[in-house]
């Protein structure tokens, strides 16, 4: 995780009072609270930032045609998937769901994950996850994923590898987190049992072990139907 990502994560975890003090400190030091090329207008022209409660966020979601995620009162829009992204998600779901269908665990997508981590309130929309204890499920969200998959995209890769890896590792129910590339046949697997050190499984002939689910999955099946573009320099999706 870069220093900038660490700063963003730290700021997202501050209370309203702490954020206000940070802004006041930056103003006293002569630095703006965020970079801008705009001409500064009188402070009276602006209203204070409005932080949503989690319930307000869920109410907003029900009225909105746009999907959002939520971190400590701040929302961010979720971009739509590419064809490759949708194929990878669908393929993993199909394989995992078929293996879990007779048990207590359920593979899900489209339903929010609502996480309470110490003082942090977070709502994510993973591409796919598995939850096993249905007694904790809410009609609008689920708090206890066991296994989570995020498919990388240019807009989300920093969050997926930084903020989300950190927060999934802080979630007691999560045993395994998988980041799937859509640019090549490759999975990065992070496990609680391995202290979240990544295991990279790459190549269409490779087999990945989803140990939290006791499932072996062929990357040829994960990437079935996906056409890869010629690799661009520095591309790591």
Which DSSP letter does residue 177 get?
E
Q: Residue 64 and residue 121: Cα distance in Å, rounded?
A: 20
Do 112 and 5 share a structural domain? no
Residue 64 placed within a domain? no
- Residue spans of beta strands (DSSP E) within the chain: 68-71, 74-77, 106-108, 112-117, 120-124, 128-131, 141-142, 145-151, 176-180, 186-191, 198-202, 207-210, 215-218
**Would 2 be classed as within a structural domain?**
yes
Q: What CATH number corresponds to the domain at position 150?
A: 3.90.1570.10
Q: Is residue 72 part of a domain?
A: no
- 92 and 186 together in one domain: yes
Contact of 183 with 229, CB cutoff 8 Å: yes
pTM > 0.85 = no
Provide the number of structural domains found in the chain. 2
Q: What is the pLDDT of residue 167?
A: 97
Query: For position 155, what pLDDT does the model report?
Result: 85
Same domain, residue pair 103 and 150: yes
Task: Determine the structural domain holding residue 26 and report its residue range.
Answer: 1-49
Q: What is the b/e burial string over 2-13, where b = at least 16 CB atoms within 10 angstroms of the residue's CB?
A: eeeeeebbeebe
CA-CA distances (angstroms) from residue 44 to 47, 89, 197, 223?
7, 47, 49, 54
Give me the average pLDDT of each 10-residue run along the chain (237 residues): 57 59 57 42 47 93 92 92 95 96 92 96 97 94 97 92 97 98 96 97 97 97 91 55
Question: What is the reported pLDDT for 237?
Answer: 64
Residue 57 lies inside a defined structural domain of this protein? no
Residue pair 117/70 in contact (Cβ under 8 Å)? The answer is no
- 33 with 143, same domain: the answer is no
The pLDDT, as a whole number, for residue 102 is: 84
Residues 109 and 160 grouped into a single domain? yes
pLDDT of residue 139: 92
């Amino acid at each position: 995780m870069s220093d900038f990502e660490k700063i963003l994560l730290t700021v997202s975890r501050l209370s309203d009072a702490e954020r206000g003090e940070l802004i006041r400190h930056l103003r006293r030091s002569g630095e703006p609270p965020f970079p801008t090329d705009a001409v500064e207008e009188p402070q009276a022209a602006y209203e204070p930032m409005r932080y949503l409660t989690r319930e307000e966020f869920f109410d907003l979601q029900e009225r909105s045609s746009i999907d959002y995620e939520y971190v400590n009162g701040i929302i961010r829009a979720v971009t739509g998937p590419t064809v490759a992204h949708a194929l990878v998600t669908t393929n993993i779901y199909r394989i995992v769901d078929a293996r879990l269908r007779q048990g207590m665990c359920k593979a899900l997508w489209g339903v929010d994950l609502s996480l309470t981590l110490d003082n942090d309130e977070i709502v994510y929309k993973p591409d796919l996850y598995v939850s096993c204890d249905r007694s904790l499920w809410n009609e609008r969200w689920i708090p206890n994923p066991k296994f989570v998959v995020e498919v990388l995209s240019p807009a989300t890769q920093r969050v997926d590898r930084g903020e989300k890896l950190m927060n999934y590792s802080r979630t007691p129910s999560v045993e395994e987190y998988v980041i799937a590339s859509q640019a090549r046949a490759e999975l990065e697997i992070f496990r609680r049992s391995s202290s979240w050190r990544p295991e990279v499984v790459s190549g269409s002939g490779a087999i990945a072990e989803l140990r939290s689910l006791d499932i072996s999955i062929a990357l040829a099946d994960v990437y079935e139907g996906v056409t890869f573009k010629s690799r661009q320099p520095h591309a790591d999706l």
